Amino acid sequence: MSRKQAGKARPGKAETERRRDERAARRALARERRNRAPAEGEGGLAGQLQALGLRLREVPGDGNCLFRALGDQLEGHSRDHLKHRQETVDYMIKQREDFEPFVEDDVPFEKHVANLAQPGTFAGNDAIVAFARNNQVNIVIHQLNAPLWQIRGTDRSRARELHIAYRYGEHYDSVRKVNDNSEAPARLQTEMLCKNESNKKEKIHLGKKEEEEEEQGSAEETQDEIEDAVQKVRNATGCLDADLIAHILEAEDYNIESAIFAVFQMNEVKRLHAEEAQEAQANRQKLHSRPALWEENGSGARIFGSQDVENNKPQASPAEGKQANAKQQAPKVSNKQKKEQQRLEKKRRQEDRHRQKVLAGRNNNADNNKNETDSELQVTLVKTFAALNI
């Protein structure tokens, strides 16, 4: 092998340093496990987490433990802890006015961030806040026999959470699901149960009589709301049939505006049908009526006789007879009625399209929420009864 090929085969300086760092981390972690085994007593924080379906994923206590634990939560491994450290320091420098007041008085801010940028330097709460804001996440800290600490880096609802454990007053570890041994990002989400649990306890202490009264009151409130909606539709449309309005409200999911439109549409259809029936009746009367001249006592009948008149009428061909019968059976519709029918039909189609869009939007939102949940690899809810927010 030539020198050139041997140089290419050898790993680079950065890769060599990374491997050396990982070997040192594994040795440090092994020493800590031997030394810290009895420190928490039986159960300890591990038992506390196990009751929530969680476990510790330990990281070496080499001064980089905070960024290792956060990197494991964010990316699924702790190999990029130096990158996370530098990004956190850069953010603190950019947002100096937010972090400088919390630096110890005898240490200048420049020296504080310069020290924090060095590998192996212990990082504290200011670094956790900076990391959370820079990555737009919330960080949840588990401690033995203590409420959860929640450090909020964003106000977005359902923001991603990173769960870490603080132990021995100096060390951070990553928190995972019990059976999660993968190198995938952790997906944990807290679930506040304080309010739910208090409601459950109150319901247990309620007697049957109070529960019945509560149900009855709820039913009365619902009935009052329905009656109020019926009255509003009645005032808007002038329809006096309360049962019909109630039925339309139920079909329209108690949307008052939709119910009013439906009542107007039904009244319009009824009016058109009535006008069509009247016009058809008038047309039939015209077709069957005879001119006054040829009525029984008219001049034509007196002169020629009714029989002659009938005989003198031109005989219609079979085709003409069919056309005449068809005209008699199909009532004429005026242009105004045609336009009105077309307008109502167009309005109905628009309403149907609007409803389909609304339903499609709801289905799309549900599908998007489902896809989001699936993409996050089944977020695990962590039950907690108390939490402190920062």
Q: Which residues are catalytic?
A: 62, 65, 171
Closest CA to 131 of 173, 69, 177: 69
- Contact between 148 and 390 under an 8 Å Cβ cutoff? The reply is no
Helix (H) / strand (E) element for 163: namely strand 161-167
Alpha-carbon span 47 to 178, nearest angstrom: 11
The distance of Cα 198 from the centroid of its chain, to the nearest Å, equals: 27
| DSSP string across 51-65 | TTTEEEE----SS-H
CA dist 380 and 177 (Å) reads 8
Both tokens assigned to 70: 């956060």
d(C-alpha 143, C-alpha 221), whole Å: 47
Query: Both tokens of residue 186?
Result: 């952790």
Instruction: Give 136's DSSP letter.
Output: T
Specify the DSSP element, H or E, that contains 157.
Answer: none
